[in-house]
């Protein structure tokens, strides 16, 4: 049986404090203590212990299985943890795939007390031997560590086994090119945009009609750097052609549901060149739907169709390297840096939540651009007057 009592103490400064402490016995019979801020949290912890001991998601010795913790973690992700918003369905599916194919087959039937630092290291090493891309293995390990963190919060695990269990992405033996982004050159992007205009002028009515939509959409992506979800959810009312601005204030997820931007930093106002404004003015006059780039029925475009029927097609037709849809956004960032944008301006324009993320992603472009300017300046200084 577990019991609760109030613990009181004084800080070095004389301030009186109190907390609720639960005394219980673990699966070995050893007495343990766990402290909570409120009595309600302490009671909830005791109830979870009781449910685990009575339920079916238990080891033969009565210990909590990682599998049962993972189920509760997924449920918490769907409902929203600690007052946070629920995760998007696509993100939950992403985590469920990690659990189903990699984490639960290896760790699911272990009791939480068997998930030690050494066992987690073995799991890390196993992931790296599965032929996965290193970044993919790192994501699997991160999901597993998130489940363990949830178990620690619940009290199902008393000792944190995650210490120093990581997958490093850098290192002197890593090919420098593998850390670089795939970004089209200015010449390649010019060829892509020129080819899009050719496709719009095609004699084939079906092709021409499709590219009536794709041409302005592609130009907005290239010159404004929107995410795929943001361009698909862009409302007509967010475009001010007189001021040459575009506001990002909503997006469409992969299922076509309209919602808020990725984070509060996703809300931003972007400026558009006159050429883009002209293309938008022409396109918006052809329909009266609420979205700027909807399907014929007014719904958000399908992400896969946008990638395969527009982006992949125009790259092949322009005879340039085939990069991902997100590479358009990287091109926009590279152009901002080339034009002298600092880190703050780049972060705000991209809608990133964390300047450290912006620096990790595009920091080498800042360095490369500065190095190039310095090399050019040195060459000029070598010239004889």
* CATH number, domain with residue 72: 1.10.150.130
Same domain assignment for residues 234 and 90: no
pLDDT at 326: 94
The span from the CA of 151 to the CA of 66, in Å, is 8
Q: Is 331 inside a domain boundary?
A: yes
- pLDDT confidence of 282, banded at 50, 70, 90? very high
Strand, helix or coil for residue 240:
strand
Q: How far apart are CA 86 and CA 80, in angstroms?
A: 4
Q: Is residue 383 situated within a structural domain? A: no
Q: How far apart are CA 351 and CA 357, in angstroms?
A: 11
* Closest listed residue to residue 76, CA positions, set 68, 110, 122, 333: 68
CB count in 10 Å sphere of residue 219: 22
Are 35 and 75 found together in one domain?
no
Q: What is the DSSP string of 249-299?
A: --EE-TT--EE--SSGGG-EEEE--HHHHHHHHHHHTT---SBSSB-TTSP
The pair of three-digit structure tokens given for residue 28, joined into one six-digit string: 């070995």
Instruction: Give how many domains the chain has, as a whole number.
Output: 3
Q: 135 and 3, same structural domain?
A: no
Stated as kind and residue range, the H or E segment containing 20 is strand 16-25
User: How far is it, in rounded angstroms, from Cα 279 to Cα 215?
Assistant: 8
Domain shared by 216 and 353, yes or no: yes
* Range(s) of the domain holding residue 67: 60-166
Q: What is the distance between the terminal CA atoms of the chain, rounded to a whole angstrom?
A: 92
Q: In what order do the strands lie in the sheet with 16-25?
A: 3-10, 16-25, 31-36
- What is the C-alpha to C-alpha distance for residues 248 and 268, in angstroms, rounded to an integer? 5
Q: Are residues 80 and 150 in the same domain?
A: yes
Mean pLDDT of 82-106: 88
Question: Does residue 117 carry a pLDDT above 60?
Answer: yes
251 and 358 belong to one structural domain:
yes
Of the candidate ranges 51-60, 70-79, 215-224, 279-288, the one whose mean pLDDT is the lowest: 51-60
Query: Rounded CA gap, 58 and 156, in Å?
Result: 12
Task: Classify strands 31-36 and 239-240 as parallel, antiparallel or unpaired.
Answer: unpaired
Q: What are phi and psi of 300, to 5 degrees?
A: -65, 145
Helices H / strands E in the chain, number of each? 15, 8
- Write the Ramachandran bin of 271: left for phi over 0, alpha for psi from -120 to 50, otherwise beta: beta
Tell me the per-residue pLDDT of 129-178, one tens digit each, with 9 for 90 and over.
998 888 899 999 999 999 999 988 887 777 789 988 999 876 544 444 44
In a domain, 68, yes or no: yes
* Element spanning 179, H or E: none
Residues 155 and 109 in one domain: yes
Asked whether residue 216 falls in the same domain as residue 321, the answer is: yes
Kindly state whether residues 111 and 207 are assigned to the same domain: no
3-state helix, strand, coil in the chain (%, to 5): 55, 10, 35
Both 336 and 230 in a single domain?
yes
pLDDT digits (tens, 9 = 90+) for 284-310: 999 999 999 999 999 999 999 999 999
Over 70: is that where the pLDDT of 383 sits?
A: no
Query: Does residue 74 sit in the same domain as residue 152?
Result: yes
> Which of 279, 179, 162, 284 lies closest to 235, judged by CA?
284
Q: What is the pTM of this model?
A: 0.67
Question: Phi/psi at 18 (nearest 5 deg)?
Answer: -145, 160
d(C-alpha 111, C-alpha 126), whole Å: 19
Rg, C-alpha atoms of the chain? 27
- Residue that is last in its domain, among 23, 39, 54: 54
Q: 166: how many CB neighbours lie within 10 A of its CB?
A: 13
**The domain boundary residue, chosen from 138, 166, 194:** 166
The answer to whether the CB of 256 falls within 8 A of the CB of 300 is yes
Indicate whether 173 belongs to any domain: no
pLDDT higher than 90, residue 323: yes
DSSP 296-360: TTSPBPPHHHIIIIIIHHHHHHHT-----TTHHHHHHHHHHHHTT--HHHHHHHHT-S-HHHHHH
What tokens were used for 265? 């930093």
Closest CA to 220 of 277, 181, 269, 259: 277
pLDDT for position 166: 92
Q: What are phi and psi of 123, to 5 degrees?
A: -65, -40
Residue where a domain stops, chosen among 100, 131, 166? 166
3-state secondary structure of 135: helix
337-373 confidence digits (pLDDT tens):
988 888 899 999 999 988 888 888 888 888 776 666 6
Distances (CA, A) of 174 to 133, 136, 182, 383: 13, 16, 17, 38
What is the C-alpha separation between 239 and 226, in angstroms, rounded?
A: 13
- Same domain, residue pair 137 and 161: yes
- CATH assignment of the domain containing 308: 1.10.443.10
The reply to whether 177 falls in a domain is no
pLDDT given at position 52: 59
């Amino acid at each position: 049986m577990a019991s609760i009592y109030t613990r009181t103490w004084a800080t070095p400064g004389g301030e009186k404090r109190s907390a609720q402490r639960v005394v219980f016995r673990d699966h070995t019979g050893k007495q343990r203590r766990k402290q909570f801020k409120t009595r309600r949290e302490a009671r909830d912890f005791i109830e979870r212990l009781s449910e685990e001991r009575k339920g079916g998601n238990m080891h033969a010795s009565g210990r909590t299985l990682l599998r049962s913790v993972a189920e509760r973690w997924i449920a918490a992700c769907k409902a929203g943890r600690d007052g946070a918003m629920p995760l998007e369905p696509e993100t939950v599916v992403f985590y469920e795939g990690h659990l189903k194919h990699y984490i639960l087959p290896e760790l699911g039937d272990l009791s939480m007390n068997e998930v030690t630092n050494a066992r987690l290291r073995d799991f890390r090493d196993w992931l790296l031997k599965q032929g996965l891309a290193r970044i993919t293995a790192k994501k699997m390990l991160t999901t597993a560590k998130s489940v363990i963190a949830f178990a620690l919060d619940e009290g199902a695990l008393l000792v944190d086994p995650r210490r120093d269990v990581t997958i490093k992405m850098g290192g002197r033996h890593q090919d420098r090119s593998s850390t670089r982004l795939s970004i089209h050159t200015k010449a390649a992007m010019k060829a892509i945009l020129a080819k899009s205009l050719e496709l719009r002028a095609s004699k084939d009515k079906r092709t021409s009609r499709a590219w009536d939509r794709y041409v302005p959409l592609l130009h907005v992506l290239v010159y404004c750097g929107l995410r795929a979800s943001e361009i698909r959810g862009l409302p007509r009312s967010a475009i001010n052609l007189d001021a040459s601005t575009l506001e990002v204030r909503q997006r469409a997820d992969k299922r076509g549901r309209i919602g808020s931007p990725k984070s509060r930093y996703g809300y931003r106002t972007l400026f558009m060149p006159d050429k883009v404004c002209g293309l938008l003015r022409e396109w918006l006059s052809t329909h009266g739907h609420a979205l700027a780039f909807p399907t014929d029925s007014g719904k958000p475009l399908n992400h896969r169709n946008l990638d395969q029927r527009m982006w992949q097609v125009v790259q092949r037709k322009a005879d340039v390297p085939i990069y991902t849809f997100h590479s358009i956004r990287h091109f926009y960032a590279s152009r901002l840096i080339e034009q002298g944008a600092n880190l703050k301006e780049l972060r705000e324009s991209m809608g990133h939540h964390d300047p450290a993320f912006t620096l990790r992603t595009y920091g080498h472009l800042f360095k490369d651009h500065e190095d190039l300017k310095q090399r050019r300046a040195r060459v000029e200084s070598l010239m004889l007057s």
